[in-house]
Amino acid sequence: MNHTLQMNLHQVEGALIRLLGLIERRGFAVTSMNAYTGEQHVEVTVDIHSAGRSVETLTRQIQKLYDVRSVACLTAAEAPAALGGSVAC
């Protein structure tokens, strides 16, 4: 599934890397991105893709980041995704 997320971050050291790192770590690929730095904030828009992970969970994980002021998913809601067969070892 492809989604577009729009975020507003406090402009502090590490905020952008922390955000992008989380997105990739949680199983989403960034296919396009745009960041605009204002006085104190950074506006970030990313297009992301994932085979089966829930973007709703991802937005909540992003929302928890201390530097994130807001996050919005600009694509329609999806049916809750379930992880496929157990892959854990």
- Using CB under 8 A, which of 17, 38, 39, 76 touches another protein? 17
List the structure tokens of 59: 């937005």
Alpha helices for the chain (secondary structure H): 15-25, 55-64
Site string for another protein, 41-70 (x = CB under 8 A): -------------x-xx--xx-xxxxx---
Q: How far is the CB of 55 from another protein (least distance, A)?
A: 12
Nearest residue to 41 via CA among 70, 4, 2, 72? 70
39 binds another protein (CB under 8 A): no
Distances 50 to 6, 26, 27, 29, 30 between C-alpha atoms, Å: 17, 9, 6, 6, 9
Q: What residues line the site for another protein (CB under 8 A)? A: 13-14, 17-18, 21-22, 25, 54, 56-57, 60-61, 63-67, 80, 82-83, 85-89
